[in-house]
Copies of this chain bind each other. A is one copy, B any other.
Amino acid sequence: MLIDHLSIIGVGLIGGSLARALRKAKLVNRITGCNRNEDSLIKALELGVIDDYSLDIAEAVAAADVVVIGTPLSTTEKLLPTIVAALNPNAVLTDVGSAKGSVVSAARRIMGDKLPRFVPGHPIAGTEQSGVEASFAELFIDHRVILTPLQETDSKAHKLITDMWQAVGADVIDLGVKHHDDVLAATSHLPHMLAYALVDCLAGMQEREEIFKYAAGGFADFTRIASSSPEMWHDICFSNRDALLNALELFSGHIDQIKAAIENSDSEQLLAIFKRAKSARDKFTKVRSRLDDTRE
């Protein structure tokens, strides 16, 4: 048994899927859930995702060997003092937040001598759905989980969380905290902003009826992520504020270059941008298919 008693604070899509996957793999004895909302805990119980629950964080955490924080980023910092106070000194704490700098600095402030028990984590998986009803055991298979262990992090705690994610099918990678936040700002947070801005922009246009009626398949792919949870992305924006603002600024510069090339009828410049992008995108496709081949 990898984990005797697992507690999940925030049993939603990610926490619920992790619970289902660990149970399916018979790697956990008992799973305790804790949410603010009792209805969702009753639902999780009915679905067999958890074995029992508590509305009280301290109670949910006290007897656990591993505690997973699956709440929205804005809540993590608020709950951390209560979680840490109740945490068994031998237990391991991890989280699933999409930005790591803000969580890590809160942990440094709050965790004291329990800091080595914290393994910051980020499973790069999800759907546009949210809530425990949307959770499923296969969510993490062949998806990456980035861990950003600190210098202080206990190596056994680090290994346990690595094993846990690998056991549910994930490809686990370690990255530095700032590095993680910069890379995610570029590859995930920025694209989400573009999808939200694009859909909001089109919805405000006079031709919006036809726009949504005649949009092609590419548009559906391109804007799928604009159906993601507004609350979750709100939290991510503020948690990864600096890296995201930096990425937005850089991106706007590139849009301005394209605009200027069109305005100035600068064929050469426009072609150069498109060719550079196509070549980088084609290279990305090759790297991905190589990775997929390696997995088989």
- Contact A201–B250 (Cβ < 8 Å): yes
B203→A280 contact, CB < 8 A: yes
In the bound complex, how far is the Cα of B189 from the Cα of A70, in angstroms? 39
Copy total for this chain: 2
A2 at the interface (CB under 8 A from B): no
Q: Is A5 an interface residue (CB 8 A)?
A: no
SS class of chain A's interface: helix, strand, loop or mixed? helix
Question: A237 is contacted by which of B215, B253, B262, B277 (Cβ under 8 Å)?
Answer: B262
List residues of chain B with CB within 8 A of the CB of A288. 220
Residue from B186, B207, B281, B285 in contact with A182 in the complex, judged by beta carbons closer than 8 Å:
B207
Verify A251–B220 contact, CB threshold 8 A.
no
Instruction: Establish whether residues A287 and B191, one from each chain, have CB atoms under 8 Å apart when the complex forms.
Output: no
- Min CB gap A53→B, angstroms: 29
Quick check: A183 and B210 within 8 Å, CB to CB?
yes
Report whether B227 and A193 are in contact in the complex, using a CB–CB cutoff of 8 Å.
Answer: no
The verdict on A4 contacting chain B, using a C-beta distance below 8 Å, is no
Residue of B nearest to A256 (CB): B252
Q: A273 contacts B196, CB within 8 Å?
A: yes
Interface size class of A (residues with CB under 8 A): 35 or more
Q: Which of chain B's residues has its CB closest to A201's CB?
A: B254
Residues of B within 8 A of A233 (CB): 274
Interface residues as binary, A208-229 with B (CB distance below 8 Å gives 1, 0 otherwise)? 1011111111111111111111
Contact indicator A214/B124 (Cβ below 8 Å): yes
- Asked whether A222 and B219 contact (CB < 8 A) given A179-B207, A186-B211, the answer is no
Known: A124-B214, A200-B273. 13 other contacts (CB 8 A): A179-B207, A188-B219, A190-B198, A196-B258, A197-B258, A200-B280, A226-B281, A228-B278, A229-B278, A238-B267, A248-B255, A248-B258, A252-B252
Q: List 8 A-B contacts (CB under 8 A).
A: A175-B210, A179-B210, A197-B255, A199-B280, A202-B280, A203-B276, A212-B287, A230-B275
